[in-house]
Every structure is written in structure tokens, then in C-alpha cells.
Structure 1
């Protein structure tokens, strides 16, 4: 079987549906980040095991969970409260752990939705490493962490459905205002790193690296050095990735992502100017 890990903070609205989608597991863990609502009580009522830890950053939080939570099973499926495991994905997960071979992790395709519309074309990152052996997984970066497995990785069929606007557009904007600060801090930290600590980034890896997460890392680092990033991001999402085929939802999402990118640019300049790191 498979253990479940759900990260939460003020998720009383989303958590019931999330837990219901993984009810097939007999070991559901919720890592709680000191919510101000009834999230912990709801989690316990629905049968989940709740562990509380103040949130610091994404990589540290997730690494702590994998090292300290006593999972019942060898395999862990991680998802956020605004995500849902579909029936087809459940079947794929169970089949994978029944005969994993040498694999220590699996990538899963995610579908993002905006006001009921699947963002099929404009979606930025369709594959995520969510099923893994906890002792074989590590995370890096303050926000939008990169998954680093210690062994072979395969890919599963079935979808993980994601509803990032389930609490409204205002909540999405508020959350990404926080994310942009973490991204800016990460950029400045990378620029100030010296010698062996400095990430080695290459165009070749950004274009041809087979591992999605490694390729994404190189793409992000190169993108951070590119002028006019907000406009470029909008054009890539809306035109190059054919986000216009997603209708009004595609245009709105591409615009929001461009605004998010501009916030990162501004906060990076602010940190460097004020010497806040």
C-alpha cells in the first residue's frame, strides 16, 4: 500500500475533498502549519494523523516531513489540499508500487483548472514527482521546490487534478505575493553563491535534459537572467504554448503569471538595493 502526505495551512475548505480522494489509503498524514481555521480538527475527524510544524520554507518543510513522519508504508504519495487524486491515478499508483523494479520515484501529470476550465495548453509545469520512497527523495529551493531523487524515476498514467483558484482569485494573488518574495530571495542567494556552491547552469541542460525537474531548474535559472521576463512569460504561455486555445481562462492565467513574474523582478531589485539578505 501507499502512505499519504498532505501539507496544509488554513485549508478547511479544500481538505475534505482532498482526503476523500485518497480514502483508499490506510495511512493518511497531514503536516499542519499552524492554521488559524479548523483544518487540524477536520483532518483528525476525517481519520488523518496530524503533525504540526511551523512553516519556514517549502524545501525545509517537505524534507522535515520525509525525515520525521513515521509513515506506515515504503511508498509515499504527496499532494496539496487543493489537489485531487483521480480514480485512474489511484489505479496507476497501486500498480506502480506492486512492481516498482529499481524505481524510487514516479512522475505524475497534473491538470490545473480555472473556474471549471482545464488549462490544457497554458499550464506551465504538467509533470511532478509525487510518488516516491521517502528515504530516496530530497527537495531544494525556498519555493516551487525541485525534487531530487536518489535513483531511477518512471512516469505514470492518470491525472492529479489541481484547483489553485478554489479559494478565489484574491487568495491566489495573495499567495503568489508571498511566493514572489521567496523566489526573489532564492535568485539573490544564487547570485551571491561562490565557487562550488554556485549552481552550474547550461543552455544545453535547459533544452535537452531528459529529467523534467533538472531541465526546469536550468530553465528557471536562465530565465532569471533574461530581460523583459514578464512579457516573455506571457507570450510563451499565451502564444507559444497556445494558451489562447483555453479561451478566456487561458488569457487570464497567462496574465496572472506575467504579473507574478513582474513581482519577482521588483522584489529581487528591492532585496539587492536594500541589502536584505
Structure 2
């Protein structure tokens, strides 16, 4: 259930429905999900200061996240986090917006001016049929863009009509659009390591449980989409390759070799080597937890 913070005289759900009802075709609303993002949030908010309607949906942060959001003039709401799909769905469906399109950067992503201009140009074009737009991100690590080891280009849906999309998967969220989709030429800058390596390990320790369950589910119910690997879209190819990877031996080592050698991670220098090692560690977490889940299903001790 939503718990709006008192930021101004109209900052309640009901008042928001009236104050945010007039559409502004040449502008775009912004929704940012947060939990203890005081390190990342200032840069993220500063890069979307052009929006006339910034919303922060916070999961009851214990740091200065809410204070920072208020200082940038954002409308702040709070809701207990249960899963990413339900949190994002709530943010889009239950919070009113001033504009037709809503932009969805993560708190650790920065929006460069070129991407801003492209987003605003789309908002001002009333004849565009797309209801969702995909954006590429550039993963930043150790002071550089991981051009080769950062899984570039990976596309994420970041600009949507709120009532024309829904979300699937608890981890590695999948956005499904009810209508045409488009791609933006600009890039986001993704500072995934801003909170430090300990935070990265904590996050991927949680994610690896979900990935382990998804891996087991895939092994038992899904077939490898060979046609998608050869002829499918980038998204379908990536999904098919992931399904294939569940069936390969020595997954952590293969993940490292694939990223560092085949994908050219060595071209990213020391940062690329360290990042590929981190991905191998993450794969090890997944494989080990798959083993644990299998043993527990059979009533065996770990």
C-alpha cells in the first residue's frame, strides 16, 4: 500500500491525480525506484532535471535518499518492496503522471544530453506509434566504459506509455509491450559499482538464488531455441543462448572464457579482466546454489 511523503500541499495520491492530469506533449515524466540510493541518486536526478514531473518510488530507505529526492523537487512515494515486477507495475499504474510517456532510469544510471534530446523529440512527435522504447547502456567500471566485457549492446526498455506495458520475471526483468516498440540511438551511463564491491556481491548473492531456480526450471521445461540462436532478434538470441548455457559443463570457466576472449573483454584492459572474473564468480554462485537446491529436493544435506 502506498505511503506518500509530505513534500508539498498536493502530495497525496488523490491530489496528485488532479495536479498531474494535464498532459504536456513536449515533456516526459520520470520514475525512479530507490532503496538506500544516497550515493547514486544525486547524479541520476541531476541528469533528468529537464523533466517537469519526476517521481521517486522509495522502498523505505534508511539513508538520505528521500531527503535528496525532495531537494530535487521530486514527488516521493513509499511502498514496501516485494518484487521488482510488482514494484514497477505499482509505480506505473497507481501513480498519476503529467505526461503521456514515462522514462524509467535506474538510480545508478545517468542520462546524457544526447539521450535527453532524443527522448524529448519523441515526446513532441504526436504521430509516433511506439508505446515502448529500448535504450542501450554503457557499463562504467574503474573509470572507463566496458565496451567489450560489459555485454554491449544490451537493450533495456526505459521509455513507455504506462498503461501499455507489463513486467515478467523477478530477476532480469522483462518488459512486455502492448503495441509497437522502438529503439533509441542514445546511451545511458550505468555506474553499477558506485556503492562498492561489497554491495555488488550482496546484490548478486541475492540474484544468484533466483537465477539458480530459473536455471533448474529451464532445464526441466524448456528446449533450446536453435533457430533463435541463428536467426532470432538480439533479445531472442540472448535468451536462447542463456537456455543453452544451463546445459553446459564448467559454466563459470566457460563464462569467463566467453566474456574475456570471445567477447573481447581483454580489450578493456585491467578493468575488463576484473569484471570478467566477477562474472565468473557470479556464475559460480548460481551453479553452486543449483547443486544445493537439487540436494535439498532429494532430502540430502548440503
C-alpha displacement of 1:236: 1.2
C-alpha displacement of 1:191: 5.2
Q: Which residue number in structure 2 is paired with residue 124 of structure 1?
A: 151
Q: Which residue number in structure 1 is paired with residue 287 of structure 2?
A: 265
Residues paired across the two proteins, number: 270
CA contact (8 A) 1:142 1:186 kept: no
Answering whether residue 247 of structure 2 is matched by residue 225 of structure 1, we say: yes
Q: Which residue number in structure 2 is paired with residue 65 of structure 1?
A: 91
CA distance in 2, matches of 1:71, 1:219: 38
CA contact (8 A) 1:2 1:76 kept: yes
* Residue 231 of structure 2, aligned match among 181, 201, 208: 208
CA distance in 2, matches of 1:273, 1:57: 27
Question: What whole-Å deviation, never above 9, does each CA across 1:157-178 have from its counterpart, x for those lacking one?
Answer: 1210011111112211111111
CA distance in 1, matches of 2:190, 2:135: 12
CA distance in 1, matches of 2:114, 2:232: 29
Q: Which residue number in structure 1 is paired with residue 55 of structure 2?
A: 29
Report the TM-score, using the length of structure 2 for normalisation.
Answer: 0.84
* Secondary structure in 2 matching 1:157: strand
CA distance in 2, matches of 1:215, 1:152: 20
The farther-off stretch of 255-264 and 67-76 is 67-76
CA distance in 1, matches of 2:215, 2:97: 34
C-alpha displacement of 1:85: 0.3
Query: Cα 1:93–1:272, aligned 2, differ >3 Å: closer, same or farther?
Result: same
Query: Cα 1:40–1:206, aligned 2, differ >3 Å: closer, same or farther?
Result: farther
Which structure would you say has the larger Rg?
2
Q: Which residue number in structure 2 is paired with residue 109 of structure 1?
A: 136
Q: Which residue number in structure 1 is paired with residue 162 of structure 2?
A: 134
CA contact (8 A) 1:146 1:213 kept: no
* Secondary structure in 2 matching 1:79: coil
Question: What whole-Å deviation, never above 9, does each CA across 1:83-107 have from its counterpart, x for those lacking one?
Answer: 0000000011111222252211111
Q: Which residue number in structure 2 is paired with residue 195 of structure 1?
A: none
* Residue 43 of structure 1, aligned match among 69, 93, 118: 69
Query: Cα 1:143–1:31, aligned 2, differ >3 Å: closer, same or farther?
Result: same
CA contact (8 A) 1:86 1:159 kept: yes
* Residue 160 of structure 1, aligned match among 182, 188, 191: 188
Tell me the C-alpha RMSD between the 2 structures.
Answer: 1.9
Consecutive unaligned residues in structure 2, runs of 5 or more? 1-26
Consecutive unaligned residues in structure 1, runs of 5 or more? 193-197
CA distance in 2, matches of 1:36, 1:176: 21
Question: What whole-Å deviation, never above 9, does each CA across 1:4-50 have from its counterpart, x for those lacking one?
Answer: 01111110111111100000001111111121212122212221111
C-alpha displacement of 1:208: 2.4
Query: Cα 1:200–1:91, aligned 2, differ >3 Å: closer, same or farther?
Result: farther
